């Protein structure tokens, strides 16, 4: 799994992954309201067709590892749980929106670094396809657990419907996230902008989804 990681980065990657696994084992699975985060690697179909099996596998693993490493190195303010990887995507539960945003911002920054490293190893044509970009969406809902470890929640299934509405490097949120995290969203200088309305499986009415944009500060001329 670690063959494609530069030798100087392997120890950090393994440490971070072990840290995440250790946190999972030590913490109890607590039912409650969670922010459900899905981050999906973009252009996977194109990459699988043009890069070949081996290089495409390295692309997906690079993304998954960065998502886990970011979580492993964070100073978490509250409870989180790395649920699983789903192909070329990751699914994570957070109890704090501030933790979600810190993870997403750090993950995006780490992807930029990872892209810089890969640019030295790939041809221009390969790099254009390999380039790592993700779209990330946040939903919220009550989560219970079956057998103490398997999350049960309609919101977990619903989040997969939302990610199709967003593109590379975008952070999408649902209306329930905008409402429950409103004070934190304001303090982070974010501005939710309506993207679309979508009817989620299990809901009787469509909901609004938003792009969480950073507010650009105006420059004053003298």
Quote the mean pLDDT of the chain.
83
Please state the pTM of the whole predicted model.
0.84
In Å, how far are 14, 120, 122 from 2, measured between CA atoms?
8, 18, 18
Confidence of residue 10 (pLDDT cuts 50, 70, 90): low
CATH of range 25-171; options 3.30.70.1230, 3.30.450.20, 3.40.50.12780, 3.40.50.150: 3.30.70.1230
Considering only CA atoms, which of 183, 188, 175 is closest in space to residue 214? 188
83-87, 130-134, 180-184: range with lowest mean pLDDT: 83-87
Q: Say if residue 66 is exposed, middle or buried (CB neighbours under 10 Å; 0-12, 13-18, 19+).
A: buried
Per the CB < 8 A criterion, the answer to whether 106 and 66 are in contact is no
Q: So what's the pLDDT on residue 151?
A: 66
Q: So what's the pLDDT on residue 6?
A: 41
- 103 Ramachandran zone, left/alpha/beta (phi>0; psi -120 to 50): alpha
Q: 94-130 pLDDT, tens per residue?
A: 989 999 999 999 999 999 998 998 889 888 988 898 8
Q: What distance in Å separates the CA atoms of residue 150 and residue 138, rounded to the nearest whole number?
A: 20
Q: So what's the pLDDT on residue 214?
A: 81
Domain range annotation of the chain: 25-171
Which letter does DSSP use for residue 172 in this model? Answer: E
């Amino acid at each position: 799994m670690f063959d494609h990681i530069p030798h100087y980065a392997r120890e950090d990657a393994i440490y971070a992954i072990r840290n995440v696994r250790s946190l999972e084992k030590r913490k109890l699975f607590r039912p409650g309201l969670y922010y459900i985060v899905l981050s999906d690697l973009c252009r996977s179909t194109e990459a699988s067709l043009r890069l070949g099996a081996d290089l495409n596998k390295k692309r997906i693993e690079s993304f998954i590892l960065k998502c886990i490493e970011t979580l492993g190195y964070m100073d978490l303010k509250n409870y989180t749980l790395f649920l699983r990887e789903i192909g070329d995507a990751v699914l994570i539960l957070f109890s704090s929106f501030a933790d979600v945003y810190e993870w997403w911002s750090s993950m995006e920054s780490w992807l930029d670094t990872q892209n810089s490293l890969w640019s030295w190893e790939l041809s221009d044509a390969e790099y254009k396809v390999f380039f790592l970009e993700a779209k990330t969406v946040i939903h919220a809902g009550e989560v219970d657990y079956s057998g103490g470890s398997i999350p049960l929640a309609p919101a977990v299934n619903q989040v997969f419907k939302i990610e199709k509405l967003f593109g590379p490097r975008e952070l999408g949120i649902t209306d329930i996230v905008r409402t429950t995290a409103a004070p934190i969203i304001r303090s982070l200088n974010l501005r939710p902008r309506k993207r679309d309305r979508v009817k989620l499986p299990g809901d009787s009415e469509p909901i609004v989804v938003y792009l969480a944009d950073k507010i650009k500060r105006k420059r004053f001329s003298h």
